[in-house]
Amino acid sequence: MKRIIWVITALSATVLVGCTNVPKPEVQKYSDGELSVPSNYKSWPKFLSDIQRADTKQVRDIYINPIGNTTKMGDAFPNGTISVMEIYKAREAADGTPLKGPDGKFVKGELLKIGVMGKGAGWGESAPPELRNGDWVYSMYLADAKTKAPDDTATCRACHLPLKDKDYIFRYDEYFQKRASY
């Protein structure tokens, strides 16, 4: 019996020592270009679909992960939010004008690029201070969702930067209005 107690004591001591040696799990920080396209994003809630961009002759679909989708109107998106935007070419007639479907909308052509925006505690610290968009970081990929697009992420930051009041999200109001109507 004594021996068993000794073994148990020795074991728990080892476990305790082991515990103190385990480093605290660090929450990983990402900077621009480091967030990949999440493989399951198509199963996420839609943020907005079929965005008609006449200026660039594109159609865009935006998804948001379930954490981001819990955000209440008027609040900033919580850390852990990821947004994925698919950018499609609008199909064109022979003369270069975008074709329109029976619903009057552009017809989706090939997928051109996939943009990713995500936020986490302290992630924005990696950005130059004058281009800091809160804690959001940016990446852009080609249609295969793996090859980096040549875009300079400073351009992402510069264009999204004025949207500070909307947590740097262009279609903030449209999203919450649409979500409220479901």
Contacts to ligand HEC by CB under 6 A = 51, 53, 60, 62, 83, 85, 115-117, 138-140, 151, 153, 155-156, 159-160, 169-171
Q: Which is nearer to ligand HEC, 51 or 90 (CB)?
A: 51
Q: Which is nearer to ligand HEC, 57 or 100 (CB)?
A: 57
**Angle of CA points 129, 65, 168, to nearest 5°:** 30
CA–CA separation, 155 vs 88, rounded Å? 20
CB of 111 to ligand HEC, least distance (A): 14
CB of 83 to ligand HEC, least distance (A): 4
Q: Which is nearer to ligand HEC, 89 or 160 (CB)?
A: 160
Quickly count: other Cβ atoms within 10 Å of residue 15's Cβ.
Answer: 9
Q: Which is nearer to ligand HEC, 155 or 177 (CB)?
A: 155
CB of 57 to ligand HEC, least distance (A): 12
Tokens of 145: 């969702």
CB of 160 to ligand HEC, least distance (A): 6
Strand order, beta sheet including 46-53: 46-53, 58-64, 82-90, 108-119, 136-142
Q: Which is nearer to ligand HEC, 25 or 150 (CB)?
A: 150
CA–CA separation, 140 vs 46, rounded Å? 19
Q: Identify whether the C-beta of residue 153 lies closer than 8 Å to the C-beta of residue 133.
A: no
Helices (H), ranges, 26-79? none
CA–CA separation, 132 vs 118, rounded Å? 13
CB of 175 to ligand HEC, least distance (A): 8
